[in-house]
Amino acid sequence: MKFEHRKKPVISNQQYAWRQLKYAGYTAVFVVFSLMLGTLGYHVTAHLGWLDSLYNSSMILTGMGPVNILNSDAAKWFASFYALYSGIAFLTMAGILFAPMVHRILHMINVEE
């Protein structure tokens, strides 16, 4: 995940597009991992079905909030920590996705002729 130095020329549009796609792929992998973690956690701790677990996981990960009422203490503990994880994960995903774009803009502004 290394970008070119400010003394190097700005990469071509095609190279930038491939870089952006690569970082979108990293973000997609992180999203899938986070959804799998949440789905498994809700399934095990709240004893929800797989679809309901995925639904709860998706809603928490996107910041919408929980859907099902959690009755067990284990499920409430998991939901609390997953919500904290989700907030950090969302910011990390945004950072990964926008890093190439922000770098390109800053590089174009600060490139040495």
Give the residue extent of every domain in the chain. 13-101
b/e map of 46-83 (b: 16 or more CB within 10 Å)? bebeeebbbbbbbbbbeeeebeeebeeeebeebbeebe
CATH architecture of the domain covering 13-101: Orthogonal Bundle (1.10)
How far apart CA 91 and CA 94 sit, in angstroms, is: 5
How far apart CA 113 and CA 95 sit, in angstroms, is: 28
Region of poorest pLDDT, from 9-18, 37-46, 92-101: 9-18
49, 35 contact by CB (below 8 A): no
Region of poorest pLDDT, from 12-16, 39-43, 55-59: 12-16
Q: Which two tokens stand for residue 56?
A: 């709860």
Q: Does the pLDDT at position 106 exceed 90? A: no
Q: Does the pLDDT at position 89 exceed 90? A: yes
Task: Name the residue with higher pLDDT: 105 or 79.
Answer: 79
Total-model pTM: 0.84
